[in-house]
Amino acid sequence: MARVRRRLEKLKLSTLYSFALCAKGSTEDHSKIGTTGFSRVVYVNDPDRHEEEGFRYPRNEVSTTKYSLVTFVPKSLFEQFRRVANFYFLVSGILTLTPLAPYSAVSALLPLSVVITATMLKEGVEDWRRKQQDIELNNRIVKVHRGNGSFEETKWKYIKIGDVIKVEKDNFFPADLILLSSNYPDGICYVETMNLDGETNLKIKQALEVTSDLQEDGDFTNLRQIVKCEDPNANLYSFVGTMDYKGMQHPLSPQQLLLRDSKLRNTDYIYGAVIFTGHDTKVMQNATEPPSKRSKIEKKMDNIIYLLLCSLLGIALLGSVFFGIWTKADLRNGETKRWYLRPDDSTVFYDPKRAPLASFCHLLTALMLYNYFIPISLYISIEMVKILQAVFINQDIDMYDEESDKPTHARTSNLNEELGQVDTILSDKTGTLTCNMMEFIKCSIAGTAYGQSVTEVEKAMALRKGVPLGDEIEAGGHKEKQIEESPHVKGFNLKDPRIMDGNWIHEPNKDVIRDFFRLLAICHTCIPEVDETDKVSYEAESPDEAAFVIAARELGFEFYKRTQTSIFIRERDPSQNVADYQYRKYELLNVLEFSSSRRRMSVIVKEPEPEGRILLFSKGADSVMFTRLAPDGRKFEEETKRHINEYSDSGLRTLVLAYRVLDEKEYENFAEKFRTAKISGSADRDEQIGEAADSIERDLILLGATAVEDKLQKGVPECIDKLAQAGIKIWVLTGDKMETAINIGFACSLLRQGMTQIIIALEAPDIIALEKNGDKDSIAKASKQSVMGQIEDGIKQVPTLGQSSTESFALIIDGKSLTYALEDDVKFKFLDLAVKCASVICCRSSPKQKALVTRLVKHSDKVTLAIGDGANDVGMLQEADIGVGISGVEGMQAVMASDIAIAQFRFLERLLLVHGHWCYRRISVMICYFFYKNVTFGVTIFLYEAFASFSGKPAYNDWFLSLYNVFFTSLPVIALGVFDQDVSSRLCLQQREGQKA
């Protein structure tokens, strides 16, 4: 019982997430239920009734295979004979069954059969692996209600629509469910959607109040509900439905929807009703076939085969014409010149009296005879070589990340040689160039800047200006070296003796500093987890929030427990000079959750006695927070703004912290207004909730600002520098503001000293004036004209191809400008400017813009490589010729959409400059070798035919002819394609200039 009590005490979040849940409440039109597209009816806890009512819902078994036992042979054969060379050999093989054949049918059809069978086996093995994954998934176990309150373990594939299932902690949801209840009294549960959208932060779901008390197995004995909802669709973030329960209609929203393949976290168990199964689930509705990507070499190879076919037809026609002429002239005065052709035993294939028909028959014979111009084993040999090349890439120890224990993984081998032809790299920033692991590094409190650590951007800026930074940095009379020996804490890198180890008590504004640290410890939605050694770790929705609570803990204000209505802080009082904690319990009244439109979050708490004040703690973006300060709360505004600008210039992410004291009456008025907004059933409920929150988040008192650093990954600057020297252009597509992106660009060597910057932004006074007036049409028209003008000015700056210039250019464009630059009548001018620049940075870009930019770059007919780590990069990865996923902390969505997965950005250097060079050269030489040996062989047959007056007889034995391609000459070519190295990897990396083949 004590364990259960502790669990229930840990969290009951209906109050804590009051704003978050209500703000995300359903605003969909539930009157649509029952109409087209909204016709699904589910009888909860009565799955057999659906068949009685005539509803035909699919099974929960899913299949991701390309073939089945029935379709494998026909579909696979169709795929093989779509290749022009294979189709040619099939037709040629069929003709060998006729008397026209110059050799036996077996010797012609056997090599084709070997090649086709080998390729089909390869396809079959790959599909069988997918089948094994499906079998493992479909046979997972979950508890399903089978009547009388009894839950039995059942395989996923046997789950039906309407089943009530019980999912336990750290297990995946087997189908799309309506959340009925959880082990928490108010039906709260935590869900990790990493498999769906790549995000590792936890989402909060909440059951309807009417079902949240169904917390025991026996409660489901007589449960009956009818759910009416939308039909299956691919939209992950919307859901419209109603639940008929105990004679009442209750609206359902996405807040009650648990999606297949997401995982239950930090919750012991949930009960849910199945509403979508199998291929009707939203994740399967989104599971489209990845785009088919073919390398440029493959496309050229097809053209060469077409050329060889034309050549083959040409020499066959030439030989047939000569054969017809000589045949017609062969019979003269009753005597035969070519007596050895036995005209006395002639058929239509050689008949001087019917020369045109003989000539046509000879053409068919010649087409079979000269088919050795086409390498029959070319495709299968290339596939074998590419697979072996991919194995070598996967096993390269120099591209293995020991820290994460992740090697490089070539998920497709079709694009190996493209790696050596990359012209443009399009990269995400956060998590790709940076680690996506935030560290609290600096802060500004009461107008004083704290934190002496040097960021990587600052190092790059100092290097750029020629001012070297010393090993020791002095600030406030203290040297960083004194605290350098303290152990590093993940998420915390603040180094300043003035506030470390309780020394903040001696600072002039110690009360402001204390309130600043308390705000960090209280204003968040993190979940604490205490282990056996009483050490606290945190589950946070974002790395930033984790960095804040870790910083508060390290500075003596440890957030260690959260209950339904309370937050517990352990504080060390430096004035007491004791190591023991002081426990402070804050009554949690409301959480006003962060959103992209609000750009801030707040909590309202009541202090413990004797103070007993009601406090509003708030943190948010500077553009929002400074406008909400009270006239008497701006004491440190100028200093804080200056520090924020310095932090932004150093590539740091900043937030402003402020608070206010609420009197009882003011809070009661807000609470009533907020409660009324929450229970409102009107369409503008979200707006009412937002207005209520907005009304209380005013007249704030400024405390200071935080600065967290997202460190560059190891080796990023060196890698970018080497890629640039190899002639590869690098574009960075980031959501950061322009100043931060520019400084990060210098830190990672994307921007270099002496590089001319072409900046396109909508910050002209006339545009700003129009934005204040709010006329959307005028703003759009003026903005577009401004962007076009700036692009044209940039094109004039950059020298054309005929002009020689040693100057390099960098293009920097913000998100608003990019919107207009990607319009149909502007985008090619933008592309013309961008491809002439050595580096391009797109700031404030959305996931859709990333994909559109990638699609635009492909119009330049250059090989593009996109690299990213999160779900927002998937469109970009699929659009690019090569998609590279970073297997980092943002889940596996980008990796699953990629062609190649690597653990660190720096491995791109070896992947492109070494393996790309080798693979491109190997495949190119191998193809040339193939065509050379076959053309050589074919020409010898042609010369023999010319010598033998085009009689259609082979110069070699049947089996010599057939085995020439398949066995006699295939192994040396394959060995060349797998093992050949024109230079070593060391020389590849040394001689970077011109590595792009």
pLDDT band at 177 (very low <50, low <70, confident <90, very high): very high
Helix (H/G/I), strand (E/B), else coil: 914: helix
Residue 514, marked binder: no
Helix (H/G/I), strand (E/B), else coil: 155: strand
pLDDT score for 752: 74
pLDDT band at 807 (very low <50, low <70, confident <90, very high): confident
- Range in 39-48, 209-218, 450-459, 702-711 with the lowest mean pLDDT: 450-459
Residue 71, marked binder: no
Average pLDDT over residues 151-168: 92
**Strands ordered across the beta sheet of 40-44:** 40-44, 225-229, 241-245, 248-252
- Give the H/E segment covering residue 167: strand 164-168
pLDDT score for 156: 92
C-alpha angle with apex 337: 335 to 339, nearest 5 degrees? 85
pLDDT score for 143: 93
Residue 850, marked binder: yes
- For residue 352, cis peptide bond before it (omega within 30 degrees of 0): no
- Gyration radius of the chain over CA positions: 36
pLDDT score for 5: 39
Q: Which fold has domain 424-434+713-912?
A: Rossmann fold (3.40.50)
pLDDT score for 195: 65
Residue 873, marked binder: yes
pLDDT score for 481: 41
Residue 825, marked binder: no
pLDDT band at 485 (very low <50, low <70, confident <90, very high): very low
What global pTM score does this model have?
Answer: 0.67
The model's pLDDT over 104-119, given as tens digits with 9 standing for 90+, comes to: 777 777 778 887 888 7
Neighbours of 842 (CB within 10 A): 25
Q: Are 955 and 947 in contact (CB under 8 A)?
A: no
Residue 628, marked binder: no
Residue 606, marked binder: no
pLDDT score for 578: 54
The model's pLDDT over 552-565, given as tens digits with 9 standing for 90+, comes to: 998 889 898 877 67
743: tokens are 């400084």
Residue 430, marked binder: yes
- Write phi, then psi, for 579 (nearest 5 degrees): -85, -10
Q: Is the pLDDT of residue 145 over 80?
A: yes
Residue 721, marked binder: no
pLDDT score for 580: 64
pLDDT band at 43 (very low <50, low <70, confident <90, very high): very high
- Write phi, then psi, for 635 (nearest 5 degrees): -60, -40
Average pLDDT over residues 264-279: 90
Average pLDDT over residues 617-638: 88
pLDDT band at 684 (very low <50, low <70, confident <90, very high): low
Average pLDDT over residues 201-216: 83
Give whichever of 138-142, 295-299, 305-309, 623-627 has the largest mean pLDDT: 138-142
348: tokens are 């239509």
Residue 781, marked binder: no
Q: Is the pLDDT of residue 913 over 80?
A: yes
Tell me the angle at which helices 84-95 and 296-328 cross, rounded to the nearest 10 degrees.
30
Higher pLDDT, 787 or 95: 787
Q: Is the pLDDT of residue 180 over 50?
A: yes
β-strand pairing of 600-606 with 263-265 = unpaired
Residue 872, marked binder: yes
Q: Are 393 and 410 in contact (CB under 8 A)?
A: yes
- Dihedral sign for Cα 882, 886, 890, 896, please: positive
SS (H, E, C) 176-227: EEEEEEECCCCCEEEEECHHHHCCCCEEEEECCCCCCCCCCHHHHCCCCEEE
Residue 428, marked binder: yes
Higher pLDDT, 868 or 465: 868
* Percent above pLDDT 70 for the chain: 83
- Range in 198-207, 317-326, 356-365 with the lowest mean pLDDT: 198-207
Amino acid at 438: M
Q: Is the pLDDT of residue 738 over 90?
A: no
pLDDT score for 443: 93
Burial 288-327 (b: 16+ CB within 10 A, else e): eeeeebebebbeebeeebeebbeebeebbeebbebbbebb
Class of domain 436-464+488-662+699-709 (CATH, top level): alpha beta
- Write phi, then psi, for 245 (nearest 5 degrees): -140, 120
The model's pLDDT over 581-600, given as tens digits with 9 standing for 90+, comes to: 788 889 988 888 776 567 78
Neighbours of 97 (CB within 10 A): 12
pLDDT score for 167: 93
How far is residue 188's CA from residue 206's CA, in Å, rounded to a whole number? 4
pLDDT band at 604 (very low <50, low <70, confident <90, very high): very high
Eight-class DSSP state of 401: B
pLDDT score for 571: 85
pLDDT score for 168: 92
Average pLDDT over residues 773-788: 78
Average pLDDT over residues 187-211: 76
pLDDT score for 482: 41
pLDDT score for 993: 45
Q: Is the pLDDT of residue 620 over 60?
A: yes
pLDDT score for 332: 65
**Entry field: residues in the chain:** 997
pLDDT score for 660: 92
pLDDT band at 702 (very low <50, low <70, confident <90, very high): very high
Give whichever of 715-724, 902-911, 932-941 has the largest mean pLDDT: 902-911
The one catalytic residue in 176, 280, 428, 496 is 428
**160-286 to CATH, choices 4.10.490.10, 2.70.150.10, 3.40.50.410, 3.40.718.10:** 2.70.150.10
* Percent above pLDDT 90 for the chain: 11
Domain map (residue ranges) of the chain: 68-141, 160-286, 424-434+713-912, 436-464+488-662+699-709
How far is residue 450's CA from residue 569's CA, in Å, rounded to a whole number? 23
559: tokens are 């957030």
Q: Has 428 been annotated as catalytic? A: yes
Q: Is the pLDDT of residue 950 over 90?
A: no
Q: Using the structure block, give the residue that is written with the tokens 């960021």.
A: 455
Residue 800, marked binder: no
C-beta contacts of 405-410 below 8 A and 24+ residues apart: 406/887, 406/901, 406/903, 407/903, 408/900, 408/901, 408/902, 408/903, 408/907, 408/911, 409/887, 409/900, 409/901, 409/902, 410/899, 410/900
Average pLDDT over residues 934-950: 82
